């Protein structure tokens, strides 16, 4: 599998992660880290940077706060 194929699977297959250690399965990663994986692991399996992980996290928090009517 090349990186382009892996990136396509990450976007289109909700169970796929780029990690042979976890058999390319999100469910196996979740079993190993039931309280959430470290940012470095998340970044690696999604083929993004840790800064990207943080940016996505902050964006999601803003969306949720807005939906709950909580001010920043």
Q: What is the pLDDT of residues 46-64, one digit of tens each?
A: 999 999 999 999 999 999 9
d(C-alpha 63, C-alpha 69), whole Å: 10
- Indicate if the pLDDT at residue 32 is higher than 90: yes
- Indicate if the pLDDT at residue 15 is higher than 90: yes
User: What pLDDT does 70 receive?
Assistant: 87
Residues 6+ apart with CB under 8 A from 42: 53
């Amino acid at each position: 599998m090349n990186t382009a194929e892996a990136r396509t699977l990450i976007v289109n297959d909700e169970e796929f992660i780029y990690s042979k250690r976890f058999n390319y399965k999100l469910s196996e990663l979740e079993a190993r880290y039931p309280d959430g994986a470290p940012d470095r692991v998340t970044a690696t399996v999604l083929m993004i940077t840790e800064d990207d992980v943080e940016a996505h996290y902050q964006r999601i928090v803003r969306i949720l706060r807005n939906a709950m009517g909580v001010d920043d």
